């Protein structure tokens, strides 16, 4: 007899059209029971650990991941030894080094890592972050020339460069060495760099393709430290003090929180809470973060402010801020980024409203296209990735949003869903000449299109991705980790389940079902249309709750229309709010259903 997931609380069709299923099948339930017996963990925590594919013998190391135990020999990465040797030589010879980074959080963190490392040896690198609109993604010849004319004898690209054949060839033709440190998917042919370290290059067998660029950069610095020690230099930097930057990039680039990445984030969060990085501390202050920094703060409060510079302002602000040690300068730049983020939110809201209207018209009353590819001359090129993310979330399918310039060229960004490799589809489109430029990874990608390419590009994505999208959308049942009540949702309970964190991509935050609770005092708050309410249980316990961006969704409509005495099943994740020294639990609702009659 096949083991099929049972409907949790008998919910076969929730208000969002999903079945609720127990995350644990019969075999995983046995693993959870074994974990509980061996470790003494509570039943719910053992369920959460087992539900993330962890075996009984792996449970203790999963709960306490360490960089020391999980960090492999950096030389396992292709070209690592050659790259480390060239960088070590630049340090020994006191060369002028230039850094070329990407304009997102991962690029900013990678540049800050390398800048801080080189400063330890009294090297002050030139740093160039390209303007998203005028230069686009990755190295360009004009910028390369500027760095070389500024005296650079070594250029390092960070979070970019893997597909930049011509700019790299140009740098080499001018007698300058160029090192690439990246993690994006590559073409079959790699550029002729002096050395190129990227765990996603075709010939790399390290198994570290899940790292972000800052994670790869950290491994490069480990390799360089080792090489310098072997040559007798005992004054190398303590790299553990820089893991806060790796953690920030890992969370914000939405790479899987498994293996070494979990250790990076866990250790990095400890360092961020010590406020060693002035830039991160200043951004937390600007974002009015209460309580210890956690992955939510990094991903939804700190990261967007760094990205705001690259989206609608000065792209170099983020990398500069994260490299600063001066408290006053840090506060000034953090305030600038905060203002830019406020403006970004206003621009994004207008664009998302237009995009959703267009998408609803395109989908109509049927199933609609498997992938949305929308374009508009009204959208700022800096926020198309955010528009794509909202479309993907709202319509449960991969989405591309493209900003059209007056000459008909377009700058677009796409977001995917688990099981649909968007990056490979874009590389194939570039190889086929369907787009002018593009790249990315499985969950996110970017393109530049010329006039006349929009239709063929859309058709290509539908043809290449339709089958995997169908499979992915069929697997959209909401997986529930356990049932709890409002009274059981205490701060102590939240601290207990956080032992299985940090949560994020690849290590999903536990989803709990609260059976037959009443939703009271529902109201719309914030410009994003969030629905705030209070859950009450039969014994009178109360739990504050919110459904983000839910006002116009079926979930929001149910919550706003629920009578105070109508019991409903609610599913969501738990988080801790800190206010005036107090911890308070809040449920982030993701779905709801009416109880079935017995």
Give pLDDT, residue 564: 61
3-state secondary structure 64-132: CCCHHHHCCCHHHCCCHHHHHHHHHHHHHCCCCEEEEECCCHHHHHHHHHHHHHHHHCCCCCEEECCCC
State how far the Cα of 430 lies from the Cα of 187, in Å rounded to an integer.
9
Does the pTM surpass 0.85? The reply is yes
Pairing of β 154-158 and β 177-181: parallel
What is residue 328's DSSP assignment? H
Of 223, 162, 151, residue with least CA distance to 190: 162
CATH, domain 367-474, list 3.60.140.10, 2.60.40.10, 3.60.20.10, 3.10.310.30: 3.10.310.30
Give pLDDT, residue 440: 87
* The architecture CATH gives domain 69-339: Alpha-Beta Complex (3.90)
Overall size of the chain counted in residues: 598
User: Contact at 8 Å (CB) between 217 and 181?
Assistant: yes
Q: Where are the domains of the chain?
A: 8-23+481-593, 69-339, 367-474
User: Contact at 8 Å (CB) between 314 and 593?
Assistant: no
Q: What is the CATH number of domain 8-23+481-593?
A: 2.40.50.460
Pairing of β 154-158 and β 97-101: parallel
Q: What share of the chain is helix, strand, coil (3-state, %, to 5)?
A: 45, 20, 35
Give pLDDT, residue 552: 87
Residue 422 burial (10 A CB sphere; 0-12, 13-18, 19+):
buried
State how far the Cα of 67 lies from the Cα of 62, in Å rounded to an integer.
12
Task: Tally Cβ neighbours within 10 Å of residue 282.
Answer: 26
Domains 8-23+481-593 and 69-339 in one fold:
no
Give pLDDT, residue 341: 96
State how far the Cα of 277 lies from the Cα of 273, in Å rounded to an integer.
10
Ramachandran bin of 341, using left for φ above 0, alpha for ψ from -120 to 50, beta for the remaining angles: alpha
pLDDT per residue rounded down to tens, the chain (598 residues): 344 556 899 999 999 989 999 999 999 999 999 999 999 999 999 999 999 999 999 999 999 999 999 999 999 999 999 999 999 999 999 999 999 999 999 999 999 999 999 999 999 999 999 998 889 889 999 999 999 999 999 999 999 999 999 999 999 999 999 999 999 988 778 999 999 999 999 999 999 999 999 999 999 999 999 999 999 988 999 999 999 999 999 999 989 999 999 999 999 999 999 999 999 999 999 999 988 999 999 999 999 999 999 999 999 999 999 999 999 999 999 999 999 999 999 999 999 999 999 999 999 878 899 999 999 999 999 999 999 999 999 898 999 999 999 999 999 999 999 889 999 999 999 999 999 999 888 889 999 999 999 999 999 999 999 999 988 887 779 999 999 999 999 999 999 999 999 998 889 999 999 999 999 999 999 888 999 999 999 999 999 999 999 998 999 999 998 766 789 999 999 999 887 778 999 999 999 999 986 6
Give pLDDT, residue 355: 96
The sign of the dihedral angle between the CA atoms of 354, 358, 359, 361 is positive
Pairing of β 582-593 and β 567-579: antiparallel
Task: Tally Cβ neighbours within 10 Å of residue 68.
Answer: 9
Helices 26-39, 43-50: inter-axial angle, 10-degree rounding? 130
* 456 CA to centre of own chain: 29
User: Contact at 8 Å (CB) between 399 and 351?
Assistant: no
Bridge partners (DSSP) listed for residue 582:
579
User: Contact at 8 Å (CB) between 338 and 135?
Assistant: no
Give pLDDT, residue 563: 63
């Amino acid at each position: 007899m096949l083991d099929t997931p049972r409907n949790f609380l008998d919910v076969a069709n929730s208000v969002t059209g999903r079945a609720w299923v127990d995350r644990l099948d019969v075999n995983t339930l046995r693993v959870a029971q074994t974990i509980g017996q061996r470790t003494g963990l509570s039943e719910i925590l053992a369920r959460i650990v087992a539900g993330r594919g962890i075996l009984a013998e792996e449970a203790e190391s999963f709960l306490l991941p360490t960089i020391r135990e999980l960090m492999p020999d950096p030389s396992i990465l292709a070209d690592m030894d050659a790259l480390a040797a060239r960088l070590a030589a630049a340090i020994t010879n006191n060369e002028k080094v230039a850094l070329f980074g990407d304009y997102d959080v991962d690029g900013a963190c990678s540049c800050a890592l390398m800048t801080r490392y080189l400063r330890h040896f009294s090297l002050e690198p030139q740093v160039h972050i390209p303007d998203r609109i005028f230069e686009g993604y990755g190295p360009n010849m004009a910028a390369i020339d500027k760095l070389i004319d500024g005296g650079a004898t070594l250029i390092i690209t960070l979070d970019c460069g893997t597909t930049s054949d011509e700019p790299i060839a140009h740098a080499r033709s001018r007698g300058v060495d160029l090192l690439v440190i990246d993690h994006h998917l590559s073409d079959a042919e790699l550029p002729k760099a002096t050395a190129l370290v990227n765990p996603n290059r075709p010939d790399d067998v390290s198994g570290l393709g899940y790292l972000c660029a800052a994670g790869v950069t950290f491994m490069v610095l480990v390799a360089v430290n080792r090489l310098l020690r072997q040559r007798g230099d005992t004054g190398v930097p303590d790299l553990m003090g820089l893991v806060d930057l790796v953690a920030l990039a890992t969370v914000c680039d939405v790479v899987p929180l498994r293996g070494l990445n979990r250790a990076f984030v866990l250790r990095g969060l400890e360092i961020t809470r010590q406020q060693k990085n002035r830039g991160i501390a200043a951004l937390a202050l600007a974002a009015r973060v209460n309580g210890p920094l956690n992955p939510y703060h990094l991903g939804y409060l700190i990261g967007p402010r760094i990205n705001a510079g690259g989206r609608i302002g000065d792209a170099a602000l983020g990398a500069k801020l994260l490299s600063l040690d001066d408290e006053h300068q840090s506060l000034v730049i953090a305030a600038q980024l905060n203002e830019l983020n406020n403006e970004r939110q206003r621009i994004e809201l207008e664009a998302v409203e237009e995009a959703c209207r267009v998408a609803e018209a395109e989908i109509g009353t049927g199933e609609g296209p498997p992938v949305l590819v929308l374009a508009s001359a009204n959208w700022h090129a800096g926020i198309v990735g955010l528009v794509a993310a909202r479309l993907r979330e709202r319509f449960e399918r991969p989405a591309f949003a493209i900003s059209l310039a007056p000459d008909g060229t377009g700058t677009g960004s796409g977001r995917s869903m688990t099981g649909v490799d968007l990056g490979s589809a874009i590389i194939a489109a570039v190889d086929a000449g369907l787009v002018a430029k593009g790249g990315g990874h499985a969950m996110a990608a970017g393109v530049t299109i010329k006039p006349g390419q929009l239709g063929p590009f859309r058709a290509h994505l539908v043809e290449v991705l339709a089958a995997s999208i169908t499979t992915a959308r069929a697997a959209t049942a909401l997986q529930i980790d356990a049932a709890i009540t409002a009274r059981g949702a205490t701060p102590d309970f939240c601290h207990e389940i956080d032992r299985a964190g940090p949560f994020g991509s690849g290590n999903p935050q536990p989803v709990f079902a609260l059976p037959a609770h009443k939703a009271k005092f529902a109201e719309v708050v914030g410009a994003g249309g969030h629905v705030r309410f209070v859950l009450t249980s039969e014994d009178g316990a109360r739990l504050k709750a919110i459904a983000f961006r839910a006002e116009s969704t079926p979930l929001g409509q149910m919550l706003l229309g629920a009578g105070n005495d109508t019991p409903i099943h609610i599913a969501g994740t738990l988080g801790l709010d800190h206010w005036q020294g107090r911890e308070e639990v809040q449920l982030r609702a993701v779905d709801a259903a009416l109880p079935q009659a017995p």
